[in-house]
Amino acid sequence: SIIVCDHHKPLRESKKIIQANPHFFGIDGSYEACGSTLSFLVAERMADRPAALFGVALAGMMADKQHLGGFSGINKVLLEKYIANGTIKPEPSIQLEGENLLESLKSSLEPFFKEISGRPEGAKALLAKAGIDPSTKIEDLHKEKFTALSSLLILQLLKQGVRPGICEDFIIDRYYIENLQIYAQQLGAIINACGRRDEEDTGLAICLGSKEALKRGKELREEHRTSLRKA
């Protein structure tokens, strides 16, 4: 049998193949379930330890931007299930990624900060205004500094004309994938870069737990981000 796991609106039902598609059940595939959601639902019923696979599914949900505005539908049901059993733990954060805050700000593309993204001096100046050491990691920010930095960055986005509703999505929950030792959103971005740089096999190896592949994936992610910033 052929099984197609997809979240885009199907052309029609078929008697020749099995389609695991939320649209057949009145569920919105644009916001409530993505391709990795459907793949995980199938894997959950086949794998010996499905919890070990949920981090990859969550990375796919976030890479598809289905976390913005809050998880809903099947995504929300699965997330709540795996938070409840301790597989995933949410941590309040801001939508940045990188080894430290200076790296995170100067390389940020989503969102893009004028005079900060791609500009180390601009990133340093903003961190100095918030009273934060540039080498600080996002997860090490104390509550007061977290509030100060997120407020300054949201103000910057508003000055750029970004709609307030989109600014609200800058404050997110991060989810650490223990068995892969990486945050879900970061994993999704790295796997996306692997595909963009024609190294899909590297992305697959990362999902299977290869440390060497993860190192290569991070290099591809930075190459991809650099090319976008230059553009």
pLDDT tens digits along 88-103: 989 888 888 878 999 9
What pLDDT is stored for residue 59 in this prediction?
96
Amino acid at residue number 4:
V
Confidence at 110, pLDDT banded by 50, 70, 90:
confident
pLDDT the model gives residue 148 = 92
pLDDT exceeds cutoff 80 at 8: yes
Number of H helices, E strands in the chain: 10, 5
Please tell me the number of Cα atoms within 13 Å of 4 on its side-chain side. 17
Q: Is there a contact between 101 and 137 (Cβ–Cβ < 8 Å)?
A: yes
The neighbour count for residue 104, using CB atoms within 10 Å, is 19
- pLDDT tens digit sequence for 165-210: 778 778 888 899 988 989 999 999 999 999 999 999 999 999 999 9
**What share of residues in the chain are helix, strand, coil (percent, to 5)?**
55, 10, 40
pLDDT number for residue 13: 86
Give the pLDDT score at 98: 79
Query: What is the structure's pLDDT at 201?
Result: 97
The DSSP code sequence of 107-126 is T--SS--TTTTT-HHHHHHH
pLDDT for res 171: 84
Confidence of residue 77 (pLDDT cuts 50, 70, 90): very high
Kindly list the distances between the CA atom of residue 52 and the CA atoms of 32, 58, 87, 180, 209, in Å, as whole numbers in the listed order.
Answer: 22, 11, 8, 9, 11
Q: Which two tokens stand for residue 59?
A: 């990375």
Cβ 66 vs Cβ 74: under 8 Å: no
User: What would the pLDDT profile of 118-173 be if each residue is shown by its tens digit?
Assistant: 899 999 999 999 999 999 988 888 888 989 999 999 999 999 998 887 787 788 88
Q: Which pLDDT value is given to residue 29?
A: 94
Check residue 165 and give its pLDDT: 76
Q: What confidence category does residue 15 fall into, taking pLDDT thresholds of 50, 70 and 90?
A: confident
Please, what is the average pLDDT of the chain?
91
User: How far is 54 from 34, CA to CA, in rounded Å?
Assistant: 13
Taking the model in full, what pTM does it have? 0.81
